Amino acid sequence: MPRSPLLETILVLGRLGATAFGGPAAHVALQEAECVGRRGWCDRRRFLDLLAAASVIPGPTSTELAIHLGRLRAGWPGLVLGGLAWMLPGTLMVLGLAWAYDRWGLVPAAAGMLAAVRPAVLVVIADAVRRLAATAVRDRLHAAWTVGGAALALAGVADVGIVLGALAVGLAFGGAAPARLRAVPLLELFLVFAWIGATLLGSGYVLISYLERALGGRGWLDPTQLLDAVAVGQLTPGPVSTTATFVGYLLAGVPGAAVATAGIFLPSFVLVAATGPLLERWRSHPRVRGALDVVNAVVVGLIAAVVVRLAPQAVATPAQVGVAVIAALCLWRGVSSTAVLLGAAALGAIAGR
């Protein structure tokens, strides 16, 4: 049954937001598989351009990419509602875990599920690297950019520094006990997280250092609570930045969760709304096109570096190797990436009982 573009955008991005385990690189892989490979919202070159644009502005990259895709598919309503659909499932899950944590002081264990999901995530990301490289790596020069980006990432250089450097080169030559509402004013909480959302550069994991400086310095959270908040953001599907929901709940209950979530994600909507039309207008300009081609090749290298870094933890046991092999076979036979991750999560949850 045909759907309107807006309804399709909401349903697709909402489903991805509810099933996208594995962090930013896995999110990008799932978005590419579903929105490009399966549904043809855009070709891979345009997808890479959107990813490059999301990589050079502050905020969580995979969330901004989802907002870009929503605008591309359904215009301005798609930008807003698609972006909300992407972030809402993870936000609600984190809110539920925050409620449990606040009452019992712990996060429900999911070690078995995570152990099974990791190798499947690794395979999904590697499969996305293969497809994206076919578009971004068109000659030996762009292959060198890809390898160089991966090498720098593996050497410990920050992703944002690599991407901004690639952009410059391309333009030049290339073409405590939780405080409660009375102790944390909601406006201050919103402004703190809006500042984080407007200045966060790099992957969602850089959020840890931002939170430590912004919250630890105010005495709002102790180090253990901070690590638990980040762990919950990683445990649940969708953007890691839903960590803000957890922190907001601990500090000021449901109102705190709402304003912290709004604060950290609002800048992404504003930045994508501002830069998306500019990208469409200028992406064919020779100098901008050359810069985007360099950044695209480097970004593929960064995603490949994630595969290398994850491999020792993702396929550390014979069981995980088996999951990786099954996941690869399923992808090869045309099973969707989302189904592969859900199947791995279910298998891990059953095995961990």
CA dihedral (307, 308, 313, 317) positive or negative = positive
Would you state the pLDDT for residue 174? 58
Burial status of residue 290 (CB atoms within 10 A of its CB: 0-12, 13-18, 19 or more): middle
Residue 247 near residue 229, CB atoms below 8 Å: yes
Residue 50 near residue 35, CB atoms below 8 Å: no
Residue 135 near residue 292, CB atoms below 8 Å: no
Task: Return per-residue pLDDT of the chain as tens, 353 residues.
Answer: 447 999 999 999 999 998 887 778 888 888 999 999 889 999 998 999 999 888 888 888 889 999 999 999 999 999 999 999 999 999 998 898 888 777 766 555 555 565 677 787 788 778 878 888 888 887 888 888 888 888 888 887 877 678 778 878 777 765 544 444 334 789 999 999 998 888 876 555 566 667 777 776 778 877 767 767 766 776 677 787 888 998 999 899 999 999 999 999 999 999 999 988 888 887 778 788 788 888 888 878 877 887 887 788 778 888 888 888 998 898 888 887 778 877 887 777 676 55
d(CA 83, CA 53): 16
Would you state the pLDDT for residue 9? 96
Domain ranges of the chain: 5-176+270-351, 186-267
d(CA 123, CA 96): 29
Nearest by Cα to 224 from 304, 49, 107: 107
Would you state the pLDDT for residue 266? 93
